[in-house]
Amino acid sequence: MDFFTAMDVSASAMSAERTRMNLISSNLANAHTTRTAEGGAYRRKDAVFTATPLAGGFRNALERAGGGVRKVAVSGIVEDPNPPRLQYDPKHPDADPQGFVGLPNVNVVEEMADMITATRAYEANVNAAQAAKNMALKTLELGR
Amino acid sequence: MLADKLFGSTLELLGKSIDLRARKHSMISGNLANAETPGYTPSTLDFEAELKHAVQTKKGKGNSTPPHPRHIPLKGQAAELEAVRGRVMEVPAGPAGRDGNGVELEAEMSRMMENQILYNASVQILAKKFEGLKTAIRDGR
Amino acid sequence: MPIQGITTGVGLEGAFAKTAAAPKSAPTGEGFGRLLGEMVDKVNGAQLDADKAIQGLMTGDSKGLHEVMIALEKSSISFQFLSQVRNKAVEAYQEIMRMPV
């Protein structure tokens, strides 16, 4: 029972990090997009992680037994509230009346750092899942 | 009673250790999963001191009340060992990051590796003990 | 005497050098019986040592995984050794009893 719980938790983390990677890729790809369907420049998107208790009908029993083990879930995708960067370029087709173009508020360096963090977290969770599998297989040796 | 004599307290200890370490792995997985969650403090399972205390209890002192009425109550050291549950406590970690997250990835990874090694060792030692018992029963052949 | 022959021939004293001081000229059954008794004690001691080492590892006292594994191997091997000695002795005894006089 316990190892499947652990693998579940690791799997939840892996999909959460993958979502984050998708958003980072989207941010990087649209770092210079000035035109979007919603109007205006592209706005940087970020994922919100929340620690959620393990699901299950017998919530109390599980929490007691699990001792506070929580998995992670992406509870939402928010847009960065920072205003777009303004750049003076009157010839640009998207320039506003003053001649400023609104560029996305994406900081490429920050996105790269986020990407490294997400990769590290993903690898760590892969390791945890492998360790759980390893331990479960080892337990089978008791009966060999 | 026969089982008590045949399977000594070392087997109980090994079984309990396996159980506790499996739970500890779940907690470490939870910590790793929430390594990027804002406001999360990592927790761990502390059971070494409890185990040591249970092991050093003289035989015949404890009497456990079994969780189920049809379970056979254990006596003595086995009872003490059975009662060890481990304490969930917060990791005495360093300062939390900018977003309130206190998980140190490297510390968690090293804890996980140590836990895994000790778990595997427990399983292997237990298997060896059972093997020894089987050899004795089979009369050395 | 055949039983004495076993004790001197197989070199059991070599395995337990310290107990070699026991008088080998003692009457027939006693030399081997005492040897067996000492072996049993030693095996028991090895088992208890292994148990203590395991407890140390589980409670986090000693991180010496190699010590535990070695102690475990020692106790296991000495136990199997004792079993085999006993088996061979019983076999030899039965062989002797089978001899027509």
- How does pLDDT run along chain A (144 residues), one tens digit per residue? 567 888 889 999 999 999 999 999 999 999 988 888 887 888 999 999 998 888 654 445 545 554 578 889 999 999 988 888 888 888 888 888 888 888 999 999 999 999 999 999 999 999 999 999 999 888 888 877
- The position carrying tokens 């592209």 is A42
Q: Distance (Å) from the C-alpha of residue C58 to the closest C-alpha of chain B? A: 7
> Does B29 sit within 8 Å of A138, measured CB to CB?
no
Set of chain C residues whose Cβ sits within 8 Å of the Cβ of B117: 65
Set of chain A residues whose Cβ sits within 8 Å of the Cβ of B127: 141-142, 144
What are the boundaries of each domain within chain C? 26-98
The model's pLDDT over B35-79, given as tens digits with 9 standing for 90+, comes to 888 888 888 888 888 888 888 775 544 445 555 555 555 556 666
Backbone angles phi, psi at A45, to 5 degrees: -110, 145
Residue A56, CB-side half-sphere exposure with 13 Å CA sphere: 16
Q: Hey, is the C-beta of A9 within 8 angstroms of any chain B C-beta? A: yes
Residue A50 burial by Cβ neighbours in a 10 Å radius (0-12, 13-18, 19+): middle
Q: Hey, is the C-beta of C83 within 8 angstroms of any chain B C-beta? A: yes
What is the spatial distance between Cα A10 and Cα A127, in angstroms, rounded to a whole number?
9
User: pTM of the prediction?
Assistant: 0.75
Strand partners, A88: A100
What are the boundaries of each domain within chain B? 2-137
DSSP A99: S
Q: What is the dihedral of CA A30, A110, A123, A15, to 10 degrees?
A: -50
Set of chain A residues whose Cβ sits within 8 Å of the Cβ of B132: none
What is the spatial distance between Cα A64 and Cα A82, in angstroms, rounded to a whole number?
42
What is the spatial distance between Cα B55 and Cα B52, in angstroms, rounded to a whole number?
5
> Does B23 sit within 8 Å of A131, measured CB to CB?
no
What is the spatial distance between Cα C47 and Cα C79, in angstroms, rounded to a whole number?
8
Of B25, B33, B123, the CB nearest to A71: B33
Pure H helices in B67-137: 77-82, 105-137
* Neighbors of chain B with 3 or more C-beta pairs under 8 Å: A, C
